[in-house]
Structure 1
Amino acid sequence: MTEQGPGDGTVGKALDVLDMVAMSGRPVRFTELLASSPYPKATLYRFLQTLTNQGMLAYDADRQAYSLGVRLVRLAHAAWSQSSLAPIARPWIDALSAEIGETIHLAQMDQGQVLYVDKRNAARPVEMFSQAGKVGPAYCTGVGKAMLAFMEQDALEQALQRQSFHRFTAHTLASRDALLDELQAIRLRGHAYDREEHEPGIICVALPILTRSGRVIGALSVTSTVNRTSLEGLDRLVPRIRETAVAIAAEAESWRFPEQDKT
């Protein structure tokens, strides 16, 4: 569930319930939600009723199950259009995808985790975890590490506190110290790798999308498999990926994510 601040109150708790339904990945019954909820039965029921009345949830009386509501879909579409890099980046990642024929990921940071906002499949697609709209770990993905490496110290510290350091593969960086060493190396070379850290056989090279002042607004990666290429092979694509990241940043900064005048 989302980490709440001291003033979040009822709204924060209702959003937690919304998250519970969303994370189930399917229509879910009240008894299932109650089993994992920190809230009393009456409180949970009240939140579910309110969310349903407001169109944020839908209730199927036949199956006696809750699912995400149409109003939430409308809000998600508006958020994608107004806050996501995806609409801005589309022509550039389309061109990059057509040129190199490998999987392209566009991501942003959300509460210390990676939110995949767009994806282009390779000419020969490979099944993998990442899909547009999915949330993944930052500490063991190329896009996640690329963003972490260039975040300001306060934001980085908050993001680090949200990493689980679960070991997905034998290559996963499973401690804070190991990740900090990796982030320093990423800053020096300017790009990050996924060395089969999240999924066996999946590798990538990733670059941050930075404003002129160095503020992180996203990341871009090219992903492939160890059967198809190598990290050295992906390295050859870095100049082209950097061109794309710079173009996306320039377009985003001009009208979507303008730098604030601090004078």
Structure 2
Amino acid sequence: MAQTGQTATGAPIGAPTGTRAGATAGDGTVGKALEVLDSVASYGRPVRFSELLADTPYPKATLYRFLQTLTNQRMLTFDPERSTYAPGIRLVRLAHAAWAQSSLAPIARTHLDRLSALVGETVHLAQFDHAQVLYVDKRNARQPVEMFSQAGKIGPAYCTGVGKVMLAHLPPEDLDRALAQQSWHRFTEHTFCDADSLRRELDAIRARGYGFDNEEHEPGIICVAVPILTAKRRLLGALSVTSTTTRTDISQLGLLAPQLQTTARAIADEAETWAFPQSETTPQGGA
């Protein structure tokens, strides 16, 4: 689980976090407002105006205008007693729609249940989100262990098992762009902290077809991960089995790679044939 004082990427507040996946020059006011929304959400708790002012590049009046608009649109809520902002209830509806329509979670649910029952360890399903890892579903181990990753959380790509296997299967230009956006914060003594060393690790992952997190993000937490790829090798996401160094070791987790790969293929096959239900009635003629 994330500890107090961490950003949404899992780095301690104040640590470099790389390029934020926010507004580009052509995104205008909408992009900037969404950056403010991202900033509010990244705290993981209600946040005061003064904190946001210090965390965002916008002048006081501009930031206030964005916050007012987002609040009016129910994307944020404002608590007048505590003078704090928090994500709004409208986001719950949008998040549910995104989960149902854009994530692998609904497709993968039964496959994750089956894999979790088989291995008895924590299972993660993740997708790539602007050079970071988005955990979209999770199954706890028979003996749960507290860790950072939870469904809906964003994590770093360069030091997580699911992140590395997804990076390893990006097209070259996309990989270059993603590596340029990594923070390279050292979480543990095992963390990859530069692009060159990580590229060598990614070469090894591509060669064997799976990757590991060897206490690179959290001390004592290890995992084996595989990419979820279509038949044409398009990246859909990643799957991992996570445990602790007190229960097992990397070599033992590696023995689970074939089961992970079988599950990943099943998820990919179902994703390729997935079609959203059509309306029972089709409009005839003009509008």
TM range (shorter): over 0.9
Aligned to 1:191: 210
Quote the Cα distance in structure 2 between the aligned partners of 1:256 and 1:190: 29
Match status 1:14 vs 2:33: yes
Match status 1:224 vs 2:224: no
Deviation for aligned residue 1:177? 0.5
Within 5 Å, give how 1:1-263 maps onto structure 2: 1-255=20-274
Quote the Cα distance in structure 2 between the aligned partners of 1:235 and 1:36: 41
Quote the Cα distance in structure 1 between the aligned partners of 2:164 and 2:129: 13
Any idea what SS the aligned residue of 1:147 has? Answer: helix
Any idea what SS the aligned residue of 1:117 has? Answer: strand
Quote the Cα distance in structure 2 between the aligned partners of 1:172 and 1:16: 28
Comparing 181-190 with 22-31, which one deviates more in the overlay?
22-31
Aligned residue type for 1:2: A
Quote the Cα distance in structure 2 between the aligned partners of 1:101 and 1:132: 18
Aligned positions, number = 257
Quote the Cα distance in structure 2 between the aligned partners of 1:174 and 1:256: 41
Comparing 181-190 with 20-29, which one deviates more in the overlay?
20-29
Comparing 79-88 with 29-38, which one deviates more in the overlay?
29-38
Deviation for aligned residue 1:36? 2.0
Gaps of 5+ in 1: 258-263
Aligned to 1:261: none
TM normalised by structure 1 equals 0.95
Quote the Cα distance in structure 2 between the aligned partners of 1:65 and 1:175: 37
Aligned residue type for 1:178: S
Query: Would the aligned equivalents of 2:161 and 2:224 in 1 still touch at CA under 8 Å?
Result: yes
Aligned residue type for 1:151: L
Identity, % of aligned pairs? Answer: 67
Quote the Cα distance in structure 2 between the aligned partners of 1:70 and 1:3: 22
Any idea what SS the aligned residue of 1:97 has? Answer: helix
Any idea what SS the aligned residue of 1:90 has? Answer: helix
Quote the Cα distance in structure 1 between the aligned partners of 2:163 and 2:53: 33
Any idea what SS the aligned residue of 1:167 has? Answer: coil
Deviation for aligned residue 1:256? 5.9
Deviation for aligned residue 1:167? 1.0
Quote the Cα distance in structure 1 between the aligned partners of 2:249 and 2:21: 37
Query: Would the aligned equivalents of 2:75 and 2:90 in 1 still touch at CA under 8 Å?
Result: yes
Any idea what SS the aligned residue of 2:26 has? Answer: coil
Comparing 102-111 with 149-158, which one deviates more in the overlay?
149-158
Query: Would the aligned equivalents of 2:22 and 2:32 in 1 still touch at CA under 8 Å?
Result: no
Moved over 3 A (4+): none
Aligned residue type for 1:105: H
Quote the Cα distance in structure 2 between the aligned partners of 1:32 and 1:3: 18
Aligned residue type for 2:73: Q
Quote the Cα distance in structure 1 between the aligned partners of 2:64 and 2:178: 32
Quote the Cα distance in structure 2 between the aligned partners of 1:235 and 1:126: 20
Aligned residue type for 1:150: H
Gaps of 5+ in 2: 1-19, 277-287
Aligned residue type for 2:218: E
State the Cα RMSD in Å.
1.2
Any idea what SS the aligned residue of 1:8 has? Answer: helix
Any idea what SS the aligned residue of 2:25 has? Answer: coil
Quote the Cα distance in structure 2 between the aligned partners of 1:57 and 1:4: 19
